[in-house]
Amino acid sequence: MPEQPPKSDSKPYISVIIAALNEEDAIGQVIGGIPRDLADEIVVVDNGSTDRTSQVANSAGARVILEPHRGYGRAHRAGLRAIAPNCEIVVFLDGDGSDYPEMMNRLVGPIIKGTHDFVISSRTRGRRERGSMNWHQVFAGYMVGFFLRLLYGVRSTDMGPFRAIRRDALERFNMREETYGWPLEMQMRAARARLRILEVPVDYRRRAGGQSKIAGTVRGSFLAATRILLTLAKIAIEPR
């Protein structure tokens, strides 16, 4: 059963952004699992799919925009440009069905209550279906956590794509990463800005269909690791 949202007389406007590339098998399930009493709009960014991702997403009730130039960060930036002007909280969610959108309240609840500005999911602290994460994904999360703690004193165990943040805070970051380093850039800039950050455990499962663009291939894993390391180094040496 979906978790109940905190009671509030004036719930902030919440936009959900889903970057998707060839996820026709999973995207309908993802959209269907999003709690509609929390999400005011769902924007799916089709990042150059060659299958029916856009049609399935549209039929499931999402607003679809096209970003043909591929790139994980580029797709999310396109989504941010498309959300409603009155949006106050942005939720990011992958379109492969690995996350449990029904747990969205764990992420937006602390922001609605005003106790935190940025809430990120930790797959390593939650219940993981066997085979849902490769060893190098788990290792990367802990490695990044080590550097975040060393540089900024922030505790982190993962770079989970399922996350929620106050829109006004995110827009001050001037995010520039266009590929796989997008999640890490957000976490590092949030730590540098001394946002009130919370990590919450979430459940995680195998993708609902298709092939992972990162963990599914050696090339994807190598490119992601390289980009993450470059992002880490680049932001770490930026003057504060």
For the beta sheet containing 163-166, the strands, ordered from the edge strand earlier in sequence to the opposite edge, are 63-66, 41-46, 14-20, 89-94, 163-166, 118-122, 197-201
> What are the tens digits of pLDDT across the range 14-39?
999 999 999 999 999 999 999 999 99
Q: Are 145 and 163 in contact (CB under 8 A)?
A: no
Q: Residue 135 above 90 pLDDT? A: no
Number of independent structural domains in the chain: 1
User: Is 8 contained in some domain?
Assistant: no
Nearest to 109 by CA among 126, 122, 127, 91: 91
Beta-carbon contacts of residue 236 (< 8 Å; ≥ 6 apart): 147, 151, 188
CB-based contact 182:223 (threshold 8 Å): no
At 94 the pLDDT is: 95
Residue 112 lies in a domain: yes
Q: How far apart are CA 25 and CA 133, in angstroms?
A: 19
Residue 203: CATH number of its domain? 3.90.550.10
pLDDT at 39: 98
Look up tokens 């929620």; give the residue: 164
Residue 115 lies in a domain: yes
Residue from 105, 101, 91 nearest 166 by CA: 91
1 has pLDDT over 50: no
In a domain, 63, yes or no: yes
Residue 88, SS3 per DSSP = coil
pLDDT tens per residue across span 140-174: 888 889 999 999 999 999 999 999 999 999 999 98
The interaxial angle of helices 182-192 and 72-82, nearest 10 deg, is 70
pLDDT over 70 for what percent of the chain?
91
Domain that holds residue 71: 14-236
Residue 7 lies in a domain: no
Cα angle: 24, vertex 25, 31; to 5 degrees: 75
Residue 3 lies in a domain: no
pLDDT surpassing 70 at residue 2: no
Mean pLDDT of the region 50-73: 97
- Report if residue 1 sits inside a domain: no
Confirm whether 153 is domain-assigned. Answer: yes
